[in-house]
Structure 1
Amino acid sequence: MNTTHVLQDALQLANAATVQSLVELYRAAVRHFGFSHFIVTGLPSQGQRFEDLILEHFWPEDWMSHYVSCDYIRRDPVAIASGICKAPFAWKEARIYTDKLSSAGDRIMMEAADVGLKDGVCVPIPVRNALAGCISLSGEEPFTQKDALEPVNVLSLTFASRLQLLVNHSRPKILTLSDREREVLTWVAEGKTAWEISQILGISDSTVNKHIAGAMRKTGSVTRSQAVAKALTAMEIAG
């Protein structure tokens, strides 16, 4: 991707009208650099819960749940390095700052690789209500060379800034799930996979995942289970 295309993409990000359109534009832009997954989050300090600081994520769902439940954010070399560095860096560079955590860090990175997060780049960003934050991007074979860091940095900083302007306005105070989102979440609550739900409802599994993602965004949830819990509490779905 040349400089003109990067600037055009950044301009589109800066003018996105909704969180959904902003996320879709960002996903398309970073895909050019080999990134298929990302998370935008603040880094928790003492007394803060990691899941409360996540602004957006497209991580594999099982990995997201596992990462949160194991509190990996406190030992993740990339997360630790993002609280120290001021400039974007490749994941492999995180070891420079976290040698004393090599055993725990190595295990986390190996587990991430097993779910497709083989390599990546981290962009430190300011996040409201957190001392520091980052966008961590990954993929099977992403571009992590020095010449790729600057355009990814420009796109990510623009995305993070616009996201934080939009996010509080776009998430309604009262849940407004669509009928299909309620239906899909009901089946998720029953333990059905996206493929199983697609067969039950006669729609594609990608459409099922889209409805789940919509419900998660509306409920401000990090995981599917959290979305189900919030929908149950709000009496949007029956237990």
Structure 2
Amino acid sequence: MHLLELTSKAVSSICNAGNKQELQAAIHEAVRSLGFDSFNLAFEKSAKREFMTEPTLTNWSYDDLVAYERDGWSDKDPLLDYAATSTGPLLWQRPGWKSRNEMGYYEYLKFNGIFGGLTIPLQGDSEKLGALTLLSFGDRPHDPDVLHAASIIAMVAKSRAAAIGLMSGQASGGGIKVRSLSTLQREILKWVANGKSNTEIALIVGQSKRSVDYHVIEILKKLEVGSRAQAAAIYGSL
């Protein structure tokens, strides 16, 4: 199918999405049609690190996002710098980061099997930040025309996200409270929601049981609930 037809089909699917799940599926199908495998979409963020710690829509797993933050990449990822300070799209391949003397990032990409990607900054009229980042896990070239197609898809997705209430300022009460948790507390909450005891969680996250006990108490306070079951319900609703 021609790129123009693919873009038209993707725009139609995104515009017809009625909720977060449908929009995420439509965007995923759109980026796959452009030759990419994963996406991370963030709008109305106050800081570049929020692109990955609090994405608006993504098909990264929760575990992947936690590992990214835990390894410090939200503070040293050159793509986040680019997305926060640039205006035009960047189509890149992994070897390019070696030639830019970004060896740490090159090794990160190599370790995770990432061959290339595309980053589209999405700054609005305000000082808030946004970006669409696509990644490819296959060693394949991309037509430069994909820049225009992906930019259209990003802007349409942003408009649809706003229409169905997914922008950061319209987040649900539970979502806002979960965002107040630290990265470690969010990871602990995930295991609480999976029915793990504090002793089991301590082993999983590499903390002492006493530390996990403390964080569970803090989680309940921040979520304004009185039990682990209520905290798990909030996590499950996101």
TM bucket normalised to smaller: 0.5 to 0.7
Change in 2 beyond 3 A, CA 1:143/1:59: farther
Residue 110 in structure 1 maps to residue 107 in structure 2: yes
Change in 2 beyond 3 A, CA 1:174/1:34: same
Q: Distance in 2 between matches of 1:8 and 1:183?
A: 36
How far residue 158 of structure 1 moved from its aligned partner, in angstroms, is 1.1
Identity among equivalent pairs (%): 15
Whether contact under 8 Å (1:77, 1:95) holds in the other structure is: no
Structure-1 residue corresponding to 2:162: 164
Residue 138 in structure 1 maps to residue 139 in structure 2: no
Residue 15 in structure 1 maps to residue 16 in structure 2: yes
How far residue 61 of structure 1 moved from its aligned partner, in angstroms, is 4.1
How far residue 119 of structure 1 moved from its aligned partner, in angstroms, is 1.3
Structure-2 residue corresponding to 1:87: 88
How far residue 50 of structure 1 moved from its aligned partner, in angstroms, is 5.6
Q: Give the unaligned 5+ runs of structure 2.
A: 176-188, 202-215, 232-238
TM-score, normalization: structure 2? 0.62
How far residue 137 of structure 1 moved from its aligned partner, in angstroms, is 0.7
1:119 counterpart (116, 120, 123):
116
Q: Distance in 2 between matches of 1:150 and 1:7?
A: 12
How far residue 185 of structure 1 moved from its aligned partner, in angstroms, is 6.1
Structure-2 residue corresponding to 1:63: 64
Query: Superposition RMSD on alpha carbons, in Å?
Result: 4.0
TM-score, normalization: structure 1? 0.62
Whether contact under 8 Å (2:117, 2:135) holds in the other structure is: yes
1:44-97 deviation per Cα after TM superposition (whole angstroms, max 9, x unaligned)? 549x8566652122224443212212442332121212233322221349969x
1:237 counterpart (222, 229, 234):
229
Whether contact under 8 Å (2:117, 2:136) holds in the other structure is: yes
1:9-68 deviation per Cα after TM superposition (whole angstroms, max 9, x unaligned)? 20221232111111111111111223221111256549x856665212222444321221
Whether contact under 8 Å (1:91, 1:119) holds in the other structure is: yes
Q: Distance in 1 between matches of 2:75 and 2:190?
A: 36
- Which SS does the other structure have where 1:122 is aligned? strand
Whether contact under 8 Å (1:77, 1:94) holds in the other structure is: no
Larger radius of gyration: 2
Aligned length: 193
Change in 2 beyond 3 A, CA 1:6/1:188: farther
Residue 25 in structure 1 maps to residue 22 in structure 2: no
Structure-2 residue corresponding to 1:36: 37
- Which SS does the other structure have where 2:85 is aligned? coil
Q: Distance in 1 between matches of 2:170 and 2:117?
A: 29
Quick one: which amino acid aligns to residue 85 of structure 1? Answer: S
Q: Distance in 2 between matches of 1:165 and 1:33?
A: 25
- Which SS does the other structure have where 1:146 is aligned? coil
